[in-house]
Structure 1
Amino acid sequence: MSTGRVLMANQAGAYVIKLTGDVRMTLCTTLDSCLYRMVDDPVFQSVTVDVTEAEGIDSTSLGMLAKVSRLATPAMGRVPTLVSTRADITRLIETMGFRDRVYAIVSQPQLESKSPLDEQPALPVNEGDARERVLEAHKILMSLNDHNRQTFRELVECIENQAQH
């Protein structure tokens, strides 16, 4: 698998975030930075997440994608769009409970961005930040449905216990 990357374009407040390669927890700081830059944009109006070139997405990154929706949806007045053409990635996203509640999942982009996608620099992640982001991402996933709550409960408890020691 190729190293994961985050690319982003903005055209008058219409954002596209494209994830490529093997998308792992190490990109969460970068995703978070993109997210806050986007929602803090006074002309922000929409975001489309494109995972058509993602080869894999770990659970922390899925939680960060849910966070993108959680922060963007109120500003947009609707859930964002997620473009996925790979059956395995789409199945994973749907298993997490993303369809309709978190993203409108489509297999074809509605519009091509006229702005170029710029690779976002991979921001460093220290151990404390990593722990906080992993914890936050999994708590968001757990809030989506009972299946996720059961799946990630022990992991979240373990991280919380480690943070206390």
Structure 2
Amino acid sequence: MSTGRVLMANKAGAYVIKLTGDVRMTLCTTLDNCLKKMVEDPVFTSVIVDLTEAEGIDSTSLGMLAKVSRLATPAMGHVPTLISSRPDITRIIETMGFRDRVFVIVPHSNVDEEPDASLNEETPQPVDEMSARDRVLEAHKILMSLNEQNRQTFHELVECLENQPTH
């Protein structure tokens, strides 16, 4: 698998976040920075998440995607679109409870929906141990809030992280 990357485009407040390669926890700080830029943009109107070139995605990254939706939905007035053309990735996303509640999942891009802007690779942000712990914890708490199956799946991980010393 190739190293994961975060690419982003913005045209007049319409954003595209594209994740490529092996999307892992190490990209969460970078993804969180993109999210912050997006929601702080006074002309933010929409976001599309594109996973068509993702080769794999871990649960922390899925939790961060749920966070994207959680913050963008109120501003947009509806859930954002997620493009996933790989059956294995789509199955994982659906298993987590994303379909219709978190994202409208489509298999390919609707050219009319995407901003006409070029994607730029976001500079990977370093992840220190405390930041990584905090992001993993936040992401899994978000996943747990989506459905009972996720709550059961991630309960022990969250409990373990919460009980770790913070220094």
Structure 1 length as normaliser, TM-score? 0.98
How many residues are aligned here? 165
Q: Give the equivalent residue in structure 2 for 1:110.
A: 110
Residues 1:141 and 2:152 aligned together: no
State how far apart, in whole Å, the 2-side matches of 1:164 and 1:52 are.
Answer: 37
Q: Give the equivalent residue in structure 2 for 1:55.
A: 55
CA shift for structure 1 position 63 = 0.2
Residues 1:156 and 2:158 aligned together: yes
Correspondent of 1:123 among 112, 122, 125: 125
CA shift for structure 1 position 161 = 1.0
Structure 1 outlier segments of 4+, above 3 Å = none
Give CA deviations for 1:130-163 in whole Å, capped at 9, x if unaligned.
0000000000000000000000000001111113
CA shift for structure 1 position 65 = 0.1
* Alignment root-mean-square deviation, CA: 1.0
Give CA deviations for 1:62-103 in whole Å, capped at 9, x if unaligned.
000000000000000000000000000000000000000000
Q: Give the equivalent residue in structure 1 for 2:32.
A: 32
Query: Does the Cα contact within 8 Å between 2:16 and 2:49 map onto a contact in 1?
Result: yes
Query: Does the Cα contact within 8 Å between 2:30 and 2:124 map onto a contact in 1?
Result: yes
Aligned AA (2:15): Y
State how far apart, in whole Å, the 1-side matches of 2:116 and 2:163 are.
Answer: 47
Q: Give the equivalent residue in structure 1 for 2:74.
A: 74
CA shift for structure 1 position 113 = 3.4
Q: Give the equivalent residue in structure 1 for 2:83.
A: 83
CA shift for structure 1 position 110 = 1.3
Query: Unaligned regions of 5+ residues in structure 1, if any?
Result: none
CA shift for structure 1 position 114 = 1.6
Query: Unaligned regions of 5+ residues in structure 2, if any?
Result: none
State how far apart, in whole Å, the 2-side matches of 1:150 and 1:56 are.
Answer: 23
Query: Does the Cα contact within 8 Å between 2:130 and 2:166 map onto a contact in 1?
Result: no
State how far apart, in whole Å, the 1-side matches of 2:149 and 2:11 are.
Answer: 37
Q: Percent identity?
A: 76
CA shift for structure 1 position 108 = 1.4
Structure 2 length as normaliser, TM-score? 0.97
